[in-house]
Amino acid sequence: MKKKTFLCAGLLFLLSFSVFAEEHLKEAMAHANAAAVHGEAGETAILIEHAKAALEQVLEASIVAKGVAKNHLDEAAKELQESIELANLGHIGSATLHAEAAVKHINISNKYIHPSVIIIKP
């Protein structure tokens, strides 16, 4: 009986991560994609706005993340911070590249959370 209880508790714990992180990852991906799109269009202020929102969501997801997914979320956060800093300096091209790199890291982290789900950039 103890083994079954322990096994069920372990499975629930593993599933709880995806429940807590899923919404944050969706929001982070939407905002990071928007930052990259607006960066391509040369809209610096909107890139910054979306990159900040994406960063907030990535940090929230990173709190409950584990392993490889957490590593990619941490890298996405670094890319988003760099994107914001470069955009503030007027380097929109470089800022856009960092926003795109963040999208890749978020997508990879999502694959480790939901191995059968792949988010494709619109």
- Residue 8 confidence (pLDDT): 44
Q: Residue 104 and residue 118: Cα distance in Å, rounded? A: 11
List the domain boundaries for the chain: 2-113
- Residue 121 confidence (pLDDT): 52
- Cβ contact 28:36 at 8 Å: no
Whether residue 89 is predicted with pLDDT greater than 70 in this model: the reply is yes
Structure tokens at 60: 């929230």
- Cβ contact 33:121 at 8 Å: yes
Enter the DSSP assignment of 120.
Answer: -
- Residue 20 confidence (pLDDT): 59
Domain 2-113 CATH class label: mainly alpha
Q: E strand or H helix at 36, and its extent?
A: helix 2-40
